[in-house]
Structure 1
Amino acid sequence: MTPCRVVTWNLWWRFGDWARRFEVIAAVLAEAAPDVVGLQEVWARGSGVDSVNAAGLLAKRLGMHWAWVPSPAPERWQRKLDDASAFGNAVLSRWPVAGVAHADLPAPSSGAPDGRRVLLAALDTPAGRLPFFTTQLSAFPGRSALRCAQVRRIAEFVAAHTPDAGLPPVVTGDLNAVPESDEVRLMEGFLTEPAVPDLLLVDAWRYAAPDDRGITWSRGNPHAAVTGEPDARIDYVLVGTPRAGGAALVESARVVGDRPRDGIWPSDHAAVVADLQLGAPVFVGPGAA
């Protein structure tokens, strides 16, 4: 089996003191020592040889490969800060990125488009090719129906890009929804019919310490407190169930980036770290010793 440490983190784009926040984000990730990272709200500026991408900067610091996809509709975010930077999702990986794909998610029926996407990075791990996904669902508490529609699109995309043989998918992201919500239950497929038949995703937090609530959106964080929303776990590492061709078994989960350093909070979200074991599963039949 191959150890695989996965992190998911919403980096809060270029809000707040983003330059100092970036340094704290880089330090937290270096200490966490992940093998794979799913990132949301990642900024990029410029084009061609003059372009700068936060994911690329982090990858260089951490000695990792990276992939990124911009939002097709970043205007709502850009207007908030009068900032023309791009906005998107990214993957960092200790292992080579063998392929990249993405899909657009359903948008609100009224108002400004969200520009949400799901990103796939196919990773060549020692245990085989890992289909690794990261995404961000629409925000606002009243948009459960939209998030359910987005989950269905993500599930279709995950199923279409997960080969029948090999490692199961790992899906990361800011789902903007609590574990008991319709959209998260639909994504997992255990407490309700899965969005795609037989696509079951285990919430890695089930393997965390029993007394740890796993809060990633906290009133203790001043960037989150201003919204008036209660403490919640809205960021996830979801892992496909074992198959004959391979497994990604969850060993533990924890939260990092949930406190300030030198007075600087790294993001409005905390990050989730999940330790997995990748490889061929061992199926023990009835009566085996």
Structure 2
Amino acid sequence: MHLRVLTLNVWNTRGDAAARTALINAGLRRLAPDLVAFQEVLPDQLPVLLDGTALHGTHQSQTSAVQPPYVDRFGGTAVATRWPHRVTEVLDQRGADAPDVPWLTLAARVPLEGLGEVLFIAPTLSFRPGAEAVRERQAQALADLDSRHRTALPTVIAGDFNAGPDAASIRFLTGRQSLSGRSTHFHDAWEIAGSGPGHTWTAANPNATEDIDRLIRQPHHHRRIDYVLVGSPHAHPGARARVRDARLAFDKPVDGVWASDHYGVVVDLEVGADPVAGKRPAGS
């Protein structure tokens, strides 16, 4: 089964919000994704983004008893899916060292016809450049979240991780290093099928320059911090999700309007049972 996944930081309502929201909506109609992870989206902004797309959306404010501060200003996390989904857990990743971050992590199960349910996780990790220790804890919590709710089909995690591929949090999630004596492994879709560096937060985007100057204070900054990760065989021995394509989305202006301060990432997967899983010798 073909499955298209999109992640996009919406940048709440900063800039020309009406024009940007319309541009994102038009892009969603054109791209026709099946699973979407949104970051920094306001509750009343989500229905406008999804208008006419036939996607089913859930904002963190609809599912959590916890209402972090500043959601009305900076927005929260949301998921949208082609088929009706069921949110199984909302994870509050805030810590004492980052109490003001309003973004929660959503875990949803999505039914795929003839295949069963797939677990779709939409995180937003701590944004401060010096907060990698926080992101390490958050990455381990994502692994635990997957363990609690995963299905036979490979889990899909999509979101804004605020960390480059060389960061410990990303290295942990992609099986390159352990944290606190633990390890896990997800496939980084861009690494498999993307072309070029895949920078998603860059000074080449004029919407990003103000925050880059505030947080980084260096010219020409660019990083790949938005990811689609896919569960690997060690956790899903009877199924597979082959990454067929990975590319940037919303990475060019339309009539002078940039959709967000981030570029999106869109990934095409081929999901199904592993036809040779039952033929492998035990322990192989």
Gaps of 5+ in 1: 45-52, 78-83
Deviations 1:89-132 (A, max 9, x none): 111111121344211114242x6521332101110112220100
- 2:74 counterpart of 1:74: no
- 2:261 counterpart of 1:261: no
8 Å contact kept, 1:67–1:121: no
Pairs within 5 Å for 1:22-171 = 22-44=21-43, 53-70=44-61, 72-75=67-70, 84=72, 87-109=75-97, 112-126=99-113, 127-163=115-151, 166-171=152-157
Query: 1:88, 1:135 → 2: CA distance?
Result: 10
One-letter amino acid of the structure 2 residue matched with residue 215 of structure 1: H
Match of 2:203 in 1: 219
One-letter amino acid of the structure 2 residue matched with residue 60 of structure 1: D
Gap change, CA 1:101 and 1:112, over 3 Å in 2:
closer
Deviation at 1:207, TM superposition (A): 2.2
Deviations 1:18-57 (A, max 9, x none): 111101111122221211111111102xxxxxxxx22223
8 Å contact kept, 1:152–1:195: no
Query: 1:204, 1:66 → 2: CA distance?
Result: 24
Query: 1:122, 1:148 → 2: CA distance?
Result: 25
One-letter amino acid of the structure 2 residue matched with residue 265 of structure 1: W
4+ runs deviating over 6 angstroms: none
One-letter amino acid of the structure 1 residue matched with residue 223 of structure 2: A
Query: 2:99, 2:15 → 1: CA distance?
Result: 23
- 2:188 counterpart of 1:203: yes
One-letter amino acid of the structure 2 residue matched with residue 218 of structure 1: T
The aligned length equals 265
Match of 1:236 in 2: 227
Deviation at 1:85, TM superposition (A): 5.2
Give the 3-state SS of the residue equivalent to 2:203 in structure 1. coil
Identity across the alignment (%): 34
Gap change, CA 1:274 and 1:87, over 3 Å in 2:
same
Match of 1:11 in 2: 10
8 Å contact kept, 1:38–1:91: yes
Give the TM-score taking structure 2 as reference length.
0.86
Gap change, CA 1:39 and 1:121, over 3 Å in 2:
same
Query: 1:159, 1:134 → 2: CA distance?
Result: 15
Deviations 1:219-265 (A, max 9, x none): 11112122234111000000001323322221110001011111111
Give the TM-score taking structure 1 as reference length.
0.85
One-letter amino acid of the structure 2 residue matched with residue 261 of structure 1: V
Gap change, CA 1:198 and 1:149, over 3 Å in 2:
closer
